[in-house]
Structure 1
Amino acid sequence: MRVLELKNFRQLVLADRNEPAVGPGEVLIDVVATGICGSDIHGYTGENGRRVPGQVMGHETVGRIASLETGTDSFGFTVGQPVTFNPLISCNSCEACDAGQQQHCPERTVIGVNPAIVSAFAEQVAVPAENVVALSPRTPIVYGALIEPLAVAFHAVRRARVQPGQKVLVIGGGPIGQSVILAALQEGAAQVLVSEMDPARRALCERLGATALDPAAGQLDEQVRKHFGRLADTTVDAVGIKPTMASALDATKFGGIVSLVGMGSPELAFSAYRVSTEEREIVGSFCYNNQDFRDAAAWVDQGSTVLAELISREVSMEDADAAFAGLAAADGTAGKVLIRLDSARNSQ
């Protein structure tokens, strides 16, 4: 099968690999499309230390079932069925897993991060059946590649305890920030503001239902007061660098919550006084639990046309390296880029 191999940092090449070995309890998936995550870009450049040369990355994906191994009958899957999969594999037996917090599992591994797993930038991938989520054939299949980042967003807004009627600020209008807008609205937020420097991304965020702010237009807290009439109940920082965290604390009400989902900097400095004396909470958000993922999948499976706004373009495997290079250079792409891995099958 064909794969996209990270041959060296900043070099993604087409390569041939053996088809995945599929064991009992696993499902073989013919991959249709896989989204390029920000963490994949940082892996491509070597910035995050979580990807290595020789690896096949990819975890935001959708496909169709190619085969079912023994031990999968109880799941009710059928060959040819459209599916996505939760890339977080947990032990299912520890205290965290028993509590439904699989992202806390000390034995967890992630498809697309673990270099030992040939992941979803490949024409086929083998996945534990319990991680596979069936999708409706009536929904455009590429929407399934949006489920994983939307699950990240659902988890981030739930960590922030967004309640119906609240006024929510999102800092960063990239793909995760865009997903957070949709998740906050689904959780009942009355209004969502998003602070984003790039005009194309601001326009996209407006189409998703948010009011977009230009951080260069003035102090963010003053802009928030102008639009909300007060400070935000909750802020989600989808960037995660010192200036955005400072702005998040400034723009969130006393006793409010800042959910940190962006990981733009490995270390952050911020005003302890803004946290302690004004009783704001800072909560970390990483990945999602199984329920978040299934809730995101169920919402996507309704086929809302707004999901099409999240996809800027689709590219072939042959054009994947150029797409990665462009995104790494901040080429102005407003939304998500999907790599189509089914073109060779469709041409046969």
Structure 2
Amino acid sequence: MLQLSYRGSGALAVDDVPAPVPGPGEVRVRVHSTGLCMSDVYGVSGVNDRRDVVLGEGDVLVMGHEVAGHVELGGPGAGDLAPGTPVAIDPIAGCGDCPTCRAGDENLCDARTVYGCTPAAAGGYAEAVVVPRRKLHVLAPGTPIEVGALVEPLSVGAHAVRLAAPAAGDAVLVIGGGIIGIGAALAARRRIGAVGKLLVLEPRAERRALCEALGLRAAAPDSPVDGFDLALDCVARPETFANAVQAVRPQGLVMLVGIFSDEIPLPVSTVVWRETRIAGSFGYSDGDFADVAQWVGSGAADLAPLVQQRVGFDGLTGAFEDYASGALTAVRTLFQPGFEQQERT
């Protein structure tokens, strides 16, 4: 099978390798769609070293953690999912035995593995991927299979909203109109209801237009905002964090969801004087992923506009380069192994 291999220092190459064989409790999934996450782009382009530090001598990393596809082959004890069953993959796998995992929070397990983020757990920039059966979520009949690849990033925003727990009617600000911010806004809308106040701040006009198309109110970051009960910073630059702190009411909550900058200044005086609460949100729990997969399959929202570009193997490396240079700003580009073949037939 073909896979996109990363060997560090920005080096990407398409390799032909044997198809992985599922072991006990594992399932091989034929990849249909994998979302290009900016965390992969940042790692390959050198914005941070999170994709290089996991590599040992001679290691190959197959990235891609936003995956949907069809069951192809089950290993011993993997259950009875029929070949061809459409699934979304939850890529965060904890040890399964610690108190955190038993509570359903595998995202916080000290021994967690994230498929697509370590050489030992290959991800979805490939024709097939092997994962534990318990990490597969069957998509509801009629769900477009490529929409299944949106479950993972949408779950990140939904997890943050669940932790923040806004009440019906609360005023919620989302900073950042990318896929994580949109996921947070959609989840917040489900929680606060039509009587709530919800606003997305996004600098790019085309992304504001996308938010509006999804029924979300959006504005440029230079718009004055204040009095919010909750601000979800899905970017985490110094300026977005400062904006979030200023936007919430006294004793309001700022939830950090994005990780663009590892360290940002803290406006201590404002936080202390207004008793601002600050919290972080990482990934999602098993329950969050399952809830979003169910919601996506319900058809309650038309998520097709989020998929703005599709590439196959011959366009995948170029997509990385275009995102890194800023030439490509699509909210989601999906890698689809069969894309070129589909186009030619």
TM-score by length of 2: 0.92
**Secondary structure of the equivalent of 1:100?**
coil
Q: Distance in 2 between matches of 1:162 and 1:312?
A: 30
Q: Is contact 1:60–1:146 with CA below 8 Å preserved after alignment?
A: yes
Which residue is 1:126 aligned to? Answer: 130
Q: Is contact 1:77–1:134 with CA below 8 Å preserved after alignment?
A: no
Q: Distance in 1 between matches of 2:85 and 2:341?
A: 16
**Counterpart code for 2:290:** R
Q: Is contact 1:181–1:192 with CA below 8 Å preserved after alignment?
A: yes
Q: Is contact 2:312–2:340 with CA below 8 Å preserved after alignment?
A: no
Q: Is contact 2:140–2:294 with CA below 8 Å preserved after alignment?
A: no
By how many angstroms is 1:344 displaced? 7.6
**Secondary structure of the equivalent of 2:101?**
helix
By how many angstroms is 1:205 displaced? 1.3
**Counterpart code for 1:269:** P
By how many angstroms is 1:342 displaced? 3.2
- The 5 A counterparts of 1:1-348 are 1-52=1-52, 54-73=60-79, 76-189=80-193, 190-216=196-222, 218=223, 223-225=224-226, 231-343=227-339
**Counterpart code for 1:17:** V
By how many angstroms is 1:8 displaced? 4.8
Give CA deviations for 1:116-166 in whole Å, capped at 9, x if unaligned. Answer: 222110101011001111112311110000000011011111122222211
By how many angstroms is 1:102 displaced? 1.5
**Secondary structure of the equivalent of 2:15?**
strand
By how many angstroms is 1:37 displaced? 0.7
**Counterpart code for 2:179:** P
Residue 197 to residue 80, structure 1, CA distance change in 2 (3 Å): same
TM-score by length of 1: 0.92
**Counterpart code for 1:104:** L
Q: Is contact 1:181–1:208 with CA below 8 Å preserved after alignment?
A: no
Q: Is contact 1:260–1:282 with CA below 8 Å preserved after alignment?
A: yes
Q: Distance in 2 between matches of 1:337 and 1:185?
A: 25
Q: Distance in 1 between matches of 2:49 and 2:300?
A: 36
Q: Distance in 1 between matches of 2:306 and 2:185?
A: 11
Q: Distance in 2 between matches of 1:48 and 1:312?
A: 26
Q: Distance in 1 between matches of 2:213 and 2:279?
A: 28
Give CA deviations for 1:74-96 in whole Å, capped at 9, x if unaligned. Answer: xx421110001110011111111
Q: Is contact 1:160–1:257 with CA below 8 Å preserved after alignment?
A: yes
By how many angstroms is 1:14 displaced? 1.5
Give CA deviations for 1:18-48 in whole Å, capped at 9, x if unaligned. Answer: 2113101001100001000111111221322
Which shifted more, 57-66 or 169-178? 169-178
Q: Is contact 1:200–1:334 with CA below 8 Å preserved after alignment?
A: no
- Shift >3 Å, 4+ stretches: 7-11, 342-348
By how many angstroms is 1:3 displaced? 0.5
Which shifted more, 132-141 or 49-58? 49-58
Residue 332 to residue 14, structure 1, CA distance change in 2 (3 Å): closer
Q: Is contact 2:92–2:112 with CA below 8 Å preserved after alignment?
A: yes
**Counterpart code for 2:335:** I
Q: Distance in 1 between matches of 2:341 and 2:321?
A: 26
Q: Distance in 2 between matches of 1:197 and 1:343?
A: 31
By how many angstroms is 1:233 displaced? 1.0
**Secondary structure of the equivalent of 1:301?**
helix
Could you tell me which runs of 5 or more consecutive residues in structure 2 were left unpaired when the two chains were aligned.
Answer: none
By how many angstroms is 1:277 displaced? 2.3
The number of residues matched between the two structures is 336
Q: Is contact 2:311–2:339 with CA below 8 Å preserved after alignment?
A: no
By how many angstroms is 1:289 displaced? 0.6
Q: Distance in 2 between matches of 1:150 and 1:38?
A: 14
Give the aligned CA root-mean-square deviation in angstroms: 1.8
Q: Is contact 2:100–2:108 with CA below 8 Å preserved after alignment?
A: yes
Q: Distance in 2 between matches of 1:83 and 1:259?
A: 30
Could you tell me which runs of 5 or more consecutive residues in structure 1 were left unpaired when the two chains were aligned.
Answer: 226-230
Q: Distance in 1 between matches of 2:128 and 2:338?
A: 10
Which shifted more, 259-268 or 203-212? 203-212
Sequence identity percentage: 39
